[in-house]
Chain A
Amino acid sequence: MLPHHLQTLARVGAEVELEIEGPVSLRSVLDALEARFPMLRGTIRDHVTQQRRPLLRFFACAEDFSQAPPDTLLPEAVRSGAEVFIILGAIAGG
């Protein structure tokens, strides 16, 4: 699930379905997202360091993955498509 501004950049709705081969991790989900929507490169992870941008957070199945290492596996419910992986703009004013 994408925040509003990334939906408008990618010209998609709130939810995007991705086909991922192999382990479903933070890294593989974001790699697949950026491969399909290259205009999102740099908006979620820094272009150079590949680190999560500071004011974004990651959630899945009511669990906070924002601080998790990139190769952390996401829950089975996300892998199967039963639950969404949420990219969320932190509430920081404005």
Chain B
Amino acid sequence: MSGIRVLVGTRKGAFILSSDAGRKKWQVDGPLFAGWEIYHMKGSPADPDRLYASQSNAWFGQIIQRSNDGGRTWEQPGTPPGEPVTTPAGMPKGESNKFAYDTSSGSGKPLTTHQWYDGSQREWEFKRVWHLEPSLTDADTVYAGVEDAALFRTVDGGQTWHELAGLRGHGTGPKWQPGAGGMCLHTILFDPDNPGRIYTAISAAGVFRSDDAGKSWKPINRGLKSAYVPDPQAEIGHCVHRIAMHLARPDVLYMQKHWDVMRSDDAGESWQEVSGNLPTDFGFVIEVHAHEPDTVYVVPIKSDYEHYTPEGKLRVYRSRTGGNEWEALTNGLPQQDCYVNVLRDAMSVDSLDECGVYFGTTGGQVYCSADGGDHWVPIVRDLPSVVSIEVQTLP
């Protein structure tokens, strides 16, 4: 019988929520990595028991954790306990936490500065891994989106990481600037029909696409309008919060921007606004139904100065038409005195016949709908503030 595993990253550790396909009785395991910020945890599509986690804090920096048994045990992949501390060649281990920007001449362009909040230029400084995206086909290959924004890749199961420097080096880097949460690369999407095609999104720079497996990149932000930048339709500078894709229709992309919900039907070459009748088009998450490519979910947030749900009501909005026409989903969600946020990586879906939808809040609740959003129940109510949610549908 199939089952569900929900991987929850919080400000103070990770949790794993498990259920059978009924999605009614849940086992809660954790906290893992207690006291650390877990920005993201995700399983490999090629091997569901291979999990990766980004563990960090301001004092001690970045740690990469890996599990080979579905989260029961974890190790830093560069330094398995009990093994010699050097490689047979005498090289030190402990490289799995090292994210060093590429400064080699082979990068093509000087990779020196980006724009700071006040418009001045600053050097890149690594802070943390925001998002880990395992390859669709190889459990040892994982892409990491980091702050300050850059894309890294491992091909040895997380033991070593190397920057795909063509993204920072393609020329627009000096115009990138941090959003309120930092200058983060937070979204990585793979086109299953085109192995060379990768999308990334950066706050606040925009969306970028590579068609050669990450060697070269171009910005794809035509149609985005952002009133908070000097040229609202500039090629670079848009605070994209999240993009989402249905694997069966990879040329269609959905975006939750700082303000505006957007859609592209041509692999990002152009974007159209589909905010429609949403009560506010500010928000962070956006997700697509597992079986219906035109069914999209967002959680509207009041504004960029008030990062909580409008009117004290926690409402997921669903469009069955690929945007523009939205309906509020409220059954089981608090409809008074609720002032939480749902962060950009904190919504996911399962792929059971009746698609389950999951999201976590800054108030520590993780909600599940086992019927595509019509009814919601909390799996847990009192975790630390939730940063990320990923769902695995197990065979």
Knowing A5-B35, A38-B79, A41-B92, say if A56 contacts B62 (CB, 8 Å).
no
Q: Is B305 an interface residue (CB 8 A)?
A: no
Q: Specify which chain B residues have a CB less than 8 angstroms from the CB of A89 in the assembled complex.
A: 59-60
Task: Give the A interface residue count (CB, 8 A).
Answer: 27
For the complex, what is the distance from the CA of A42 to the CA of B34, rounded to whole Å? 19
* B-contacting residues, A21-64, CB 8 Å: 34-36, 38-44, 46-48, 53, 55-56
How far, in Å, is B377 (CB) from chain A's closest CB? 31
**One of B93-101, B201-209, B246-254, B338-346 contacting the partner:** B93-101
- Decide if B60 touches A36 in the complex (CB within 8 Å): no
- Decide if A55 touches B59 in the complex (CB within 8 Å): yes
- Decide if B92 touches A43 in the complex (CB within 8 Å): no
Q: Is A68 an interface residue (CB 8 A)?
A: no
Knowing A11-B81, A92-B58, say if A41 contacts B63 (CB, 8 Å).
no
User: B97 touches which one: A4, A47, A56, A94 (CB < 8 A)?
Assistant: A47
- Decide if A40 touches B94 in the complex (CB within 8 Å): yes
The dominant DSSP class at the B interface is loop
Q: Is B295 an interface residue (CB 8 A)?
A: no
Q: Is B36 an interface residue (CB 8 A)?
A: yes
Q: Is A84 an interface residue (CB 8 A)?
A: no
- Decide if B92 touches A35 in the complex (CB within 8 Å): yes
* A-contacting residues, B317-358, CB 8 Å: none
Q: Is B85 an interface residue (CB 8 A)?
A: yes
Closest to A38 in B: B94
Q: Specify which chain A residues have a CB less than 8 angstroms from the CB of B93 in the assembled complex.
A: 38
Q: Specify which chain B residues have a CB less than 8 angstroms from the CB of A36 in the assembled complex.
A: 85
- Decide if A38 touches B92 in the complex (CB within 8 Å): yes
What residues make up the interface of A, taking CB atoms closer than 8 Å to B? 3-6, 8-9, 11, 34-36, 38-44, 46-48, 53, 55-56, 89-90, 92, 94
- Pairs across A and B, CB under 8 Å, 20 listed: A3-B60, A9-B76, A35-B92, A38-B85, A38-B92, A39-B78, A40-B94, A41-B92, A41-B97, A42-B62, A42-B97, A43-B61, A47-B97, A47-B99, A48-B100, A53-B60, A55-B58, A56-B60, A90-B59, A94-B58
Q: Which 5 A-B pairs have the closest CB atoms?
A: A38-B94, A41-B94, A43-B60, A39-B79, A47-B98
Extra inter-chain contacts (9) besides given A42-B61, A44-B60, CB under 8 Å: A35-B85, A38-B92, A39-B63, A39-B97, A47-B98, A55-B58, A89-B59, A89-B60, A92-B58
